[in-house]
């Protein structure tokens, strides 16, 4: 939790309090070519999807997918549950507040404590069943909302398994032969995940506010649904912050730190952030996908050899989440093997409200 106190209901403020005002670097720091580049869009029914995904993962660490097979009505339903949740009175939402050392529940982003300024957003993290927290929010009608989340997570799990096969396939790794923890059907059925609902209210001074500060995800991969309001940006080295526009029915897929480790740094975990809007609120739903708790993730043997030493030590998801909670943007360096890594992004350069020390 930040040492500065959040406004109890910042969604109703007419002016941006100083505690929410970030000192953004002017965009002129970056060449204007930032507008000319855009995140790849990949059709999952395209026979060349593996190559396209491999290229996007290596060069961007992020892409959008279309024709992914997730039924549209599921997005409407999960959006409606999220709206119902965030429009509850503050006191009601606080009944499901995340405990100080917990992961699930209502509150600020987990990384908030690393910043001297507050973020213009609310979040709700779901790990496992949402039942207990949803009952606190909606004592009389939580069951429907639980069902929506359950169905959404099932669909996301299937898609995440497919994406794992495509991403690894592009590196010459097959789930059947090369990844034991992919399970007997090689469908990654034992994998686990968290669902993060993010709500960014309309903001009186969007140019000085920050929705969600620049970070990488502590996942294998993340599947992000965003409503029709833009805000997501990804950092392209040497170019700058690139907007990832909402495309109806498309999903944004990004590489997380664990996939960066598994790929022995072939795939970068992309730095991203969410900006806010003066007139429209924004909603996003992140499916944060990782291995089951007993699995140690390490650079895959097929990507290691005499000229390619393993760049990271083995870690479980829980160990990595603990490291991230302690060291935030330094977490990857903490699991680095004793080999210097070239071309690492220093997140400090891009987060100027980061607390020092
Ligand atoms: C499974 C995860 C992944 C977490 C921690 C835990 C639950 C909540 C996730 C997020 C969601 C919002 C951004 C982030 C950076 C945050 O603050 O909380 C994420 C973090 C991570 O990717 O490190
Ligand atoms: O809201 C967004 O677009 C980004 C959300 C995000 O990065 C996250 O939940 O990890
Ligand atoms: Fe993220």
Tell me how far the alpha carbon of residue 215 lies from the centroid of ligand 3, in angstroms. Answer: 6
Which residues are catalytically annotated? Answer: 282
Closest atom, ligand 1, to C-alpha of 286: 11
CB 331 within 8 A of CB 347: no
Q: What is the reported pTM?
A: 0.94
- What is the tens place of the pLDDT at every residue in 279-318? 999 999 999 999 999 999 999 999 999 999 999 999 999 9
Question: Over the stretch 37-86, which tens digit does the pLDDT of each residue have?
Answer: 899 999 999 999 999 999 999 999 999 999 999 999 999 999 999 999 99
Indicate if the pLDDT at residue 337 is higher than 70: yes
Closest ligand, as measured to the CA of 218: 1
Nearest CA to ligand 1 atom 16: 110
> What confidence tens digit (pLDDT) does each residue in 208-238 have?
999 999 999 999 999 999 999 999 999 998 8
Q: Whose CA is nearest to atom 9 of ligand 2?
A: 286
Pocket of ligand 2 (CB under 6 A): 196, 198, 212, 217, 224, 226, 231-232, 272, 274, 284, 286
Q: What is the pLDDT of residues 109-120, one digit of tens each?
A: 999 999 999 999
CA–centroid distance, 110 to ligand 1, in Å, is: 6
How many A from CA of 268 to the centre of ligand 2? 17
For residue 103, the ligand 1 atom closest to its alpha carbon is 7
Residue 2 confidence (pLDDT): 43
Cβ 196 under 6 angstroms from ligand 1:
yes
In three-state form (DSSP H/G/I as H, E/B as E, the rest C), the secondary structure along the chain is: CCCCCCCCCHHHCCCCCHHHCCCCCCHHHCCHHHHCCCCCEEECCCCCHHHHHHHHHHHCCEEEEECCCCCHHHHHHHHHHHHHHHCCCHHHHHCCECCCCCCCEEECCHHHHHECCCCCCEEEEEECCCHHHHHHHCCCCHHHHHHHHHHHHHHHHHHHHHHHHHHHHCCCCCHHHHCHHHCCCCCCCCCEEEEEEEEECCCCCCCCCCCEEEECCCCCEEEEEECCCCCEEEEECCCEEEECCCCCCCEEEEECHHHHHHCCCCCCCCCEEECCCCCCCEEEEEEEEECCCCCCECCCHHHCECCECCCECCECHHHHHHHHHHHHHHHHHHCECCCCCCCCCCHHHHCCCECCC
As a whole number, mean pLDDT of residues 163-181 equals 97
Question: What residue owns the CA closest to ligand 2's atom 4?
Answer: 274
pLDDT at 1: 44
Cα 304 to ligand 2 centre (Å): 32
Probe target for ligand 2 pocket from 62, 122, 217, 284, with the most ligand atoms within 8 Å of CB: 284
CB of residue 273 inside a 6 A radius of ligand 1: no
Angle ∠(84,90,95) on CA atoms, nearest 5? 90
Reference 196, options 249, 299, 274, 118; nearest CA is 274
pLDDT tens figures, 143-166: 999 999 999 999 999 999 999 999
Ligand 1 centroid to residue 74 C-alpha, Å: 23
Nearest to 265 by CA among 323, 349, 343: 343
> At residue 346, does pLDDT exceed 60?
no
Regarding the beta carbon of 220 and ligand 1, being less than 6 Å apart is answered no
Q: How many residues does the chain have?
A: 357
Pocket test for ligand 2, best of 110, 200, 212 (most atoms within 8 A of CB): 212
């Amino acid at each position: 939790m930040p040492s500065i106190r959040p406004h109890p209901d910042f969604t109703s403020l007419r002016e941006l309090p100083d505690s929410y005002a970030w000192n953004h670097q002017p965009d002129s720091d970056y060449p204007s070519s930032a507008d000319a580049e855009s995140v790849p869009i990949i059709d999952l029914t395209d026979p060349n999807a593996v190559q396209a995904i491999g290229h996007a993962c290596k060069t961007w660490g992020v892409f959008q997918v279309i024709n992914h097979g997730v039924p549209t009505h599921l997005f409407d339903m999960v959006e409606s549950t999220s709206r119902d949740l965030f429009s509850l009175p503050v006191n009601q939402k606080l009944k499901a507040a995340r405990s100080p050392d917990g992961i699930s529940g209502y509150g600020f982003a987990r990384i908030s404590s690393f910043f001297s300024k507050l973020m213009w957003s609310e979040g709700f993290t779901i790990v496992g069943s949402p039942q207990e927290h949803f009952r606190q929010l909606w004592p009389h009608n939580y069951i429907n909302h639980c069902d929506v989340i359950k169905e959404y997570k099932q669909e996301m799990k299937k898609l995440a398994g497919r994406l794992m096969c495509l991403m690894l396939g592009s590196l010459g790794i097959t789930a059947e032969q090369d990844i034991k923890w992919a399970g007997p059907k090689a469908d990654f059925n034992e994998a686990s995940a968290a669902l993060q609902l993010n709500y960014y209210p309309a903001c009186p001074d969007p140019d000085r506010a920050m929705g969600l500060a620049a970070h990488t995800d502590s996942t294998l991969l993340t599947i992000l649904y965003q409503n029709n309001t833009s805000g997501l940006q990804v950092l392209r080295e040497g170019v700058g912050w690139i907007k990832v526009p909402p495309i109806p029915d498309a999903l944004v897929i990004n590489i997380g730190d664990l996939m960066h480790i598994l790929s022995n740094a072939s795939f970068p975990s992309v730095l991203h952030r969410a900006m806010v809007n003066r007139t429209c609120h924004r909603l996003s739903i992140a499916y944060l996908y990782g291995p089951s708790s007993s699995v140690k993730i390490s650079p895959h043997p097929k990507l290691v050899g005499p000229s390619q030493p393993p760049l990271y030590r083995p870690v479980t998801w829980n160990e990595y989440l603990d490291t991230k909670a302690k060291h935030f943007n330094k977490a990857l360096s903490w699991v680095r093997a004793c080999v210097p890594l070239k071309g690492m992004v220093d997140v400090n350069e891009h987060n100027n409200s980061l607390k020092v020390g």
